[in-house]
């Protein structure tokens, strides 16, 4: 019978192609990814998230690298044609190896889960960033296919633009007046789902000025791709000026204006509203919850239960 000899020798050219392809892919990503929002964060939350990312990758190299090395060495050294290599066909158990094989991954996971608990509590999106500072309150409402941000203290509302003073905690209460959405601003942190009849919360802080994009990342229909906004992290004075600018708007967000806005629409330009129907956010939630008491995600206004 014919046997195609897929010999070990073929390994080298082919393996180098793989390596080249992989490194080309990584490299061409490498330069731009460093400037990307995740790896060059603009707030303490996303910075801490990045730190955890780096730590976890580093610790896991303890198992990943040996796998690469062993796979390469064993495949080469113990190729069938290499009659010089030792061959032990019945070698199938050696308890010190078993201890290492179970023990090392287990130790890494213990280390990792300690960090996991620490960071998960520290970076709980519900947690107030600085208990000593009163955060800026924002209410985010997901609509088809845009974001409406209400500033209750300033009595203004904005479509598809989120402004915030730099170095000031922002507490965003989130709900949806449509399908499930998810709010993220990659440079600052996130994300949390927006669900009708329920309120979720996201606490953020920008420690650099700049314009950062944010968007819905939970697929919600044909306008999904354009459901994005810009976040303006500004010095306090600029933010106040921005608030004044919004207050100059001739439009007010009364019940009728809200109804019109809530209809599905795509690529909606930034729109300012100088006044907001009182209790609008709660009314949108109540529309779906019918006074039932079981709205599950934590809806307290102040941070985590724990």
Site for other proteins in 97-126 (CB under 8 A): 97-98, 101-102, 104-106, 109, 112-113, 115-117, 119-126
Longest dimension (CA), the chain: 87
Residue 257 found at the interface with other proteins (CB under 8 A): no
C-beta of residue 156 within 8 angstroms of C-beta of residue 14: no
Which backbone phi and psi does 54 adopt, to 5 degrees?
Answer: -65, -45
Judged by beta carbon, residue 117 or residue 248, the one nearer other proteins is: 117
Output the smallest distance, CB 289 to other proteins, in A: 8
Output the smallest distance, CB 248 to other proteins, in A: 28
Residue 146 found at the interface with other proteins (CB under 8 A): no
Output the smallest distance, CB 282 to other proteins, in A: 15
C-beta of residue 75 within 8 angstroms of C-beta of residue 11: yes
Which backbone phi and psi does 150 adopt, to 5 degrees?
Answer: -110, 130
The residue from 16, 213, 301, 302 that contacts other proteins (CB under 8 A) is 213
Judged by beta carbon, residue 127 or residue 251, the one nearer other proteins is: 127
Residues 226 and 219: their CA atoms lie apart, in Å, by 11
Site string for other proteins, 260-289 (x = CB under 8 A): ---------------------------xx-
Span from 149-157, 188-196, 252-260, 274-282 in contact with other proteins (CB under 8 A): 188-196
C-beta of residue 141 within 8 angstroms of C-beta of residue 162: no
Identify the helix (H) or strand (E) that includes residue 273: strand 271-273
The owner of tokens 């610790």 is 59
Residue 180 found at the interface with other proteins (CB under 8 A): yes
The residue from 12, 21, 255, 279 that contacts other proteins (CB under 8 A) is 21
Residue 255 found at the interface with other proteins (CB under 8 A): no
Residue 190 found at the interface with other proteins (CB under 8 A): yes
Buried b (16+ CB within 10 A) or exposed e, 99-125: eeeeeeeeebeeeeeeeeeebeeebbb
- Helix extents (H) in 141-205: none
Residue 71 found at the interface with other proteins (CB under 8 A): yes
The residue from 68, 130, 236, 240 that contacts other proteins (CB under 8 A) is 68
The residue from 156, 163, 166, 215 that contacts other proteins (CB under 8 A) is 215
Output the smallest distance, CB 293 to other proteins, in A: 6
Q: Compute the C-alpha angle 40/23/33, nearest 5°.
A: 15
């Amino acid at each position: 019978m014919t046997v195609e000899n897929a010999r070990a020798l073929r390994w080298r050219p082919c393996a180098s192609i793989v390596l080249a392809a992989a490194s080309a892919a990584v490299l061409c990503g490498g330069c731009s990814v460093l400037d990307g929002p995740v790896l060059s964060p603009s707030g303490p939350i996303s910075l801490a998230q990045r730190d955890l990312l780096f730590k976890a990758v580093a610790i896991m190299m303890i198992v990943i690298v040996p796998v690469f090395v062993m796979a390469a060495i064993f495949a080469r050294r113990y190729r069938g044609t290499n009659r010089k290599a030792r061959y032990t066909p019945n070698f199938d158990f050696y308890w010190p190896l078993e201890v290492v094989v179970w023990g090392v991954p287990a130790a890494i996971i213990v280390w990792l889960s300690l960090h996991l608990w620490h960071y998960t509590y520290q970076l709980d999106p519900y947690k107030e960033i600085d208990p000593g500072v009163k955060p800026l309150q924002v209410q985010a409402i997901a609509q088809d296919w845009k974001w409406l941000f209400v500033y209750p203290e300033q009595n203004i509302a904005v479509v598809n633009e989120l402004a915030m003073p730099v170095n000031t905690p922002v507490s965003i209460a989130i709900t949806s007046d449509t399908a499930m959405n998810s709010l993220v601003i990659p440079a600052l942190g996130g994300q949390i789902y927006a669900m009708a009849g329920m309120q979720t919360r996201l606490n953020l802080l920008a420690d650099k000025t700049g314009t950062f994009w944010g968007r819905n990342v939970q697929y919600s229909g044909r306008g999904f791709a354009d459901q994005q906004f810009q976040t303006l992290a500004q010095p306090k004075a600029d933010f106040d000026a921005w608030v004044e600018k919004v207050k100059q708007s001739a439009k007010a967000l009364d019940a009728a204006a809200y109804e019109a806005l809530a209809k599905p629409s795509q690529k909606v330009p930034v729109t300012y509203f100088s006044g907001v129907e009182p209790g609008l956010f709660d009314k949108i939630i109540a529309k779906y919850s019918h006074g039932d008491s079981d709205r599950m995600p934590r809806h307290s206004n102040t941070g985590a239960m724990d």
